[in-house]
Copies of this chain bind each other. A is one copy, B any other.
Amino acid sequence: MRNLTAMLVALCLGLCTAAQADEGMWTFDNFPTEKMQTAYGWAPDHSWLNTVQLASLRLSSGCSASFVSADGLVMTNNHCARDCVAALSDAQHDYVANGFYAETLQDEKPCPGFEADQLVSIKNVTGAITAQTKNKSGKAFSDAERTAISQIEASCETGSGVLCEVVTLYHGGIYDLYMYRRYQDLRVVFAVEDDAANFGGDPDNFEFPRYAIDVTFLRAYDHGQPLHPAAWLKFSANPAQPGDIVIAVGSPQSTERDDTVAQLLFIRDYKDPIRRAFLSEEAGILWDMGETSPELARETRNDYFFTMNNLKAYAGEQAALRDGPLMTRKIAAEAELRQKMAADPSLAPDLAAFDNIAQAQAVYGALYMRLQLLDEFPEWTLPDVVRQAFELNRYAEESQKPDALRLQDYNAANLPGIQQDIEGAGQYYPAEEKRLIAWWLTDMRFYLGADDPDVRAILGRQSPDEIASQIIDGTKLTDSTLRRQLFAGGAKAIDASQDPLLVFIRRLGGPSRQVLEDYNDKVEAVVTQNATRIAHARFALYGSGIYPDGTLTPRLSYGQVKGYLQDGKFIPPFTNFAGAFGRATGEEPFKLPASWLKAAPDIDMATPLDMALTLDMTGGDSGAPVLNRAGEITGLFFDVNIQSLGGDFGYDGAANRSVAVDATALKLALTSIYHADRLAKEIGE
A binding-site residues for B, Cβ under 8 Å: 1, 3-4, 6-7, 200, 202-204, 207, 268-270, 272-273, 276-285, 287-289, 291-292, 308, 311-312, 315, 318, 322-323, 365, 435, 438-439, 442, 445-446, 449-450, 461-463, 465-466, 585-588, 590
Q: A283 to chain B: which residues have CB within 8 Å?
A: 281, 284
A279 to B273, CA, bound (A): 12
A560 to B311, CA, bound (A): 45
Do residues A287 and B442 form an inter-chain contact, with CB atoms below 8 A? yes
Q: A284 to chain B: which residues have CB within 8 Å?
A: 280-285, 287-288, 439
Rounded to whole Å, the gap between the CB of A334 and the closest CB of chain B is 15
Contact for A273 among B3, B6, B276, B292, CB less than 8 A: B276
Q: A588 to chain B: which residues have CB within 8 Å?
A: 463
> A461 with B585: in contact, given A1-B4, A285-B284 (CB under 8 Å)?
yes
A272 to B276, CA, bound (A): 11
A284 to B466, CA, bound (A): 18
Q: A204 to chain B: which residues have CB within 8 Å?
A: 450
Contact for A322 among B269, B277, B287, B435, CB less than 8 A: B269
> A203 with B273: in contact, given A287-B439, A288-B435 (CB under 8 Å)?
no
Query: Which residue of chain B is the closest to A311 with respect to CB atoms?
Result: B277
Query: Which residue of chain B is the closest to A462 with respect to CB atoms?
Result: B587
Q: A292 to chain B: which residues have CB within 8 Å?
A: 292
Contact for A203 among B207, B288, B446, CB less than 8 A: B446
Q: A268 to chain B: which residues have CB within 8 Å?
A: 269
Do residues B449 and A203 form an inter-chain contact, with CB atoms below 8 A? yes
Query: Which residue of chain B is the closest to A207 with respect to CB atoms?
Result: B449
A269 to B272, CA, bound (A): 10
Contact for A288 among B269, B285, B461, CB less than 8 A: B285
The 8 closest A-B pairs by CB, nearest first: A284-B284, A3-B3, A203-B450, A280-B281, A288-B288, A281-B284, A280-B280, A273-B273
Query: Which residue of chain B is the closest to A466 with respect to CB atoms?
Result: B587
Q: List 14 A-B contacts (CB under 8 A).
A: A203-B445, A203-B449, A270-B322, A273-B277, A276-B276, A277-B311, A277-B315, A282-B284, A284-B287, A284-B439, A285-B285, A285-B287, A288-B288, A312-B446
Query: Which residue of chain B is the closest to A269 with respect to CB atoms?
Result: B322
Q: A6 to chain B: which residues have CB within 8 Å?
A: 3
